[in-house]
Amino acid sequence: MQTLVLLALIGFAAQLVDGALGMAYGVTSTTLLLTVGAAPAAASASVHLAEIGTTLASGIAHWRFGNVDWRTVLKIGVPGAVGAFAGATFLSGLSTEAAAPITSGILLALGSYILVRFTVRGLPRRRGDRPLPLGFLAPLGLVGGFLDASGGGGWGPVGTPALLSSGRLEPRKVIGTIDTSEFLVAIAASAGFLVGLGAGGFDLGWVLTLLIGGVAAAPLAAWLVRKLPARVLGSLVGGLIVLTNTRTLLRATGVGDTVVGWSLIAIALVWAAAVGWSLRAHRIERRGAPAAVQPALVGE
């Protein structure tokens, strides 16, 4: 019973972070299930089945708050679904441990760029409202969907930094679009796990508790993303990616827990300083001080 209550709380917290930052539901939830002894495929399968409900609730909430760019949802979501189905069937029979360091290295580079870009220079300059091309979104969706299903998470860490870096969408719409398109990814991944593992691959108790917590947090997260300053939001996203993927890379090198712990503490301190700097810069700009880049509230 205690485990189920903990899972519901984790589902709530994970969806709150995911809905506000565009990532971390799958990574957080899957990590917890692995710590209680779940097999990687069963953990990812159960999380993705729960995500059908949480992403639907999140997508509806983001839509009601005007956070979704529908031109982008299908362009990235459909290829993402294809990649997710392939990733789920792949994980059902194979381990992805060998690919983890490579994936984390790519994500670490993206996260570092986002963290530095938003902290130092603020909101990326908009390049107009032209829709993002399919040639950019389709490969991004395929890779993100495959990694999400095969690794238990990855749709947000791949998609959110890439869309933020494009400068074509406001940060709040990047997050809302990624969360909404993930509904298609979750359906396809669940179908792939059903084919690869059968119905017995899902733990319905885990699914239900994660679903309850995630659905409860979805409206709050969609509201929160409208209130956070865009510059601060970018620093939060970048720092989260750097922190999580640095841990994965250090673990892959086989260094001791002490080194990993102190390294993560150092990164967390730098991350906190970056967020504080961005918040201070935002407040100065809001008071009318001159700035090279004039970021606005995400909801403006």
Q: How many CB atoms lie within 10 A of CB 187?
A: 20
pLDDT at 159: 86
Q: Which residues contact 250 (CB under 8 A, 6 or more apart)?
A: 259, 260, 263
pLDDT at 127: 58
> Each residue of 76-120: pLDDT tens digit?
999 999 999 998 888 776 554 555 566 567 667 767 877 887 788
**Does the pTM exceed 0.75?**
no
Q: Which residues of the chain have pLDDT under 70?
A: 1-4, 17, 19-24, 28, 31-32, 34-39, 93-104, 106-107, 110, 122-129, 152, 201, 225-226, 230, 288-300
pLDDT at 270: 94
pLDDT at 291: 43
Q: How many CB atoms lie within 10 A of CB 209?
A: 22
Three-state SS sequence of 215-272: HHHHHHHHHHHHHCEHHHHHHHHHHHHHHHHHHHHHHHHCCCHHHHHHHHHHHHHHHH
pLDDT at 44: 78
Q: What's the rounded Cα separation, in Å, for the pair 276 and 223?
A: 22
pLDDT at 81: 96
Q: Which residues contact 252 (CB under 8 A, 6 or more apart)?
A: 100, 101, 104
pLDDT at 298: 40
pLDDT at 58: 82
